[in-house]
Amino acid sequence: MRRALYPGTFDPITNGHVDVIERAAQLFDHVIVLIGENPAKRPLFSEAERQQMAAASLAHLPNVSVEIYHGLIVDYARQCGAIAIIRGLRAISDFEYELQMALINRRMAPEVCTLFLAPSERYIYVNSSIVRELVRFGYVPTDLVPEPVAARLRAFIEQGV
């Protein structure tokens, strides 16, 4: 089975993420969306909430699962037998960091390749940070996130959190 990982914080998952995952699901037998932590970020949602939103947003893809993991992505890739790590590239500014990560991952696990995928041009500017910023100002960007996420964002705003 050709398995790939798509790691990220997904706080929350956006239509850009879904677009990349749909592309990856066409290339691989199984894609694992791997929700992790990034110490540099303050997440809006818990890992369990992010996992639930991602699973609901990806339910139309039978060969995609969503898991939570803490640790090095290459270690998880080895554990589950993944042959590739998917990374989304939106802009040239993403490339330098992503290339550095790909090279260190290759050094640590040469059997696991990194595959860069760009989202559709209609989502090229979308990222979770923009979505979180809009939500903090009381706006739910329904055109940028899947419906399960939009529903959770509306609830978040209504709760006044």
Active-site hit among 17, 23, 50, 87: 17
- Report the pLDDT value the prediction gives residue 14, as an integer from 0 to 100: 97
Distance of CA 30 to the CA centre of its chain: 15
Task: Quote the pLDDT of residue 93.
Answer: 75
Residue 91 is assigned to a structural domain of this protein: yes
90 assigned to active site: yes
Q: Does 160 score more than 90 pLDDT?
A: no
In a domain, 67, yes or no: yes
Instruction: Tell me if 133 is assigned to some domain.
Output: no
Catalytic residue among 2, 41, 136, 154: 41
Query: By the 8 A CB rule, do 20 and 88 touch?
Result: yes
- Of residues 3, 78, 90, 132, which has the active-site annotation? 90
- Asked about 17 being catalytic, the answer comes back as yes
Q: Nearest 5 degrees, angle CA 49-CA 141-CA 126? A: 85
- Domain membership flag for residue 40: yes
Q: Domain containing 38 — which CATH number? A: 3.40.50.620
Q: Quote the pTM value.
A: 0.93
In a domain, 137, yes or no: no
Which of 23, 87, 128, 152 is labelled catalytic?
128
Kindly state whether residue 143 falls inside one of the protein's structural domains: no
Question: What number is the average pLDDT over the span 9-26?
Answer: 97
pLDDT at 42: 81
According to the model, what pLDDT value does residue 116 have?
A: 95
Per residue in 109-147, pLDDT (tens digit) is 999 999 999 999 999 889 999 999 999 999 999 999 999
Question: Do 87 and 115 contact (CB within 8 A), yes or no?
Answer: yes
To the query of whether residue 57 is one of the catalytic residues in this protein, the response is: no
Q: How many domains does the chain have?
A: 1
User: How far is 99 from 86, CA to CA, in rounded Å?
Assistant: 12
Whether residue 75 is contained in a domain is answered as: yes
pLDDT digits (tens, 9 = 90+) for 74-100: 999 999 999 999 999 887 777 888 899
**What range defines the domain where residue 63 resides?**
3-125
* Segment 34-48, tens digit of pLDDT: 998 877 778 899 999
CB-neighbour burial class of residue 161 (10 A; exposed 0-12, middle 13-18, buried 19+):
exposed
Residue 87 backbone dihedrals phi, psi, to 5 degrees = -135, 135
Does residue 41 have an active-site annotation?
Answer: yes
> What residue has token string 């040469």?
110
**Contact status, residue 22 vs residue 61, Cβ threshold 8 Å:** yes
The whole-number pLDDT of residue 161 equals 55
In a domain, 77, yes or no: yes
